[in-house]
Amino acid sequence: MSFLDKIDRSNLPQHVAVIMDGNGRWAQEKGQERVFGHLNGVESVRATLKAAISCGIQYLTLYAFSKENWNRPKKEVDALMNLLVNTITGEIGELNQNGVRLLAIGNLENLPTNCIEELNSGMEVTKKNNRITLVLALSYSSRWEITNAVKRIVASGVDADKVDDALVSQSLTTNGIPDPELLIRTSGEYRISNFLLWQIAYAELYFTETLWPDFREEDFYKAIADYQGRERRFGMTSHQLIEQPNNDNPS
């Protein structure tokens, strides 16, 4: 039986975020260069998006390239940028057919011009789709994002006593996107790696030993099933949750 059959469609996370980790180790285990792992990781992106659509997830955010990744060897960075461009170019037709809206967050100005152009084109072509929103985090850093949000708030002249959670959230690159309820990280690492630090305040964290190029639909379904087996209390007690079964996320 597939884990998909165990999923309660009435208790789905609206937004799932994924830290796609393990491409380099996967390639090295096969005696290949790291880029080989990135190339094979594209199939995992397809599988994960397909699984998210099958479940009925509304938002899927993938940590594709961090701000810190610019410090990697130039050969690897160049290969990743070329892979990004080629993947977007090759997948836009299918994304559009499947009702996928493409968005991107991060310091996108740092990306090569051709990457920016392909991203903008892809987002424009898919902007009316509403089956699922695929968010690519590129040249992204949560500390960078929060710092910039603070700068924008200060520059706007808002009084300090008017600054609240809502204003900070509205000043982030994820404005208009609901916070993730589930964060998945592959490859057996137990770190957040500067990803959506503000947004995952109440997210459930799921770690798997599976390296990203091996991650497939069943792995995604398993993570959703695990999420549904947890009690999400948001600072309350179990007894309070019983008394307030329709309680909304206070975050």
Could you list the active site residues? 21, 69
DSSP the chain: --GGGG--TTS--SEEEEE---HHHHHHHTT--HHHHHHHHHHHHHHHHHHHHHHT-SEEEEEEEEGGGGGS-HHHHHHHHHHHHHHHHHHHHHHHHTTEEEEEES-GGGS-HHHHHHHHHHHHHHTT--SEEEEEEEEE-HHHHHHHHHHHHHHTT--GGG--HHHHHHTSTTTTSPPPSEEEE-TT----TTSSTTTTTT-EEEE-S--GGG--HHHHHHHHHHHHTS---TTS-HHHHHH-TT-----
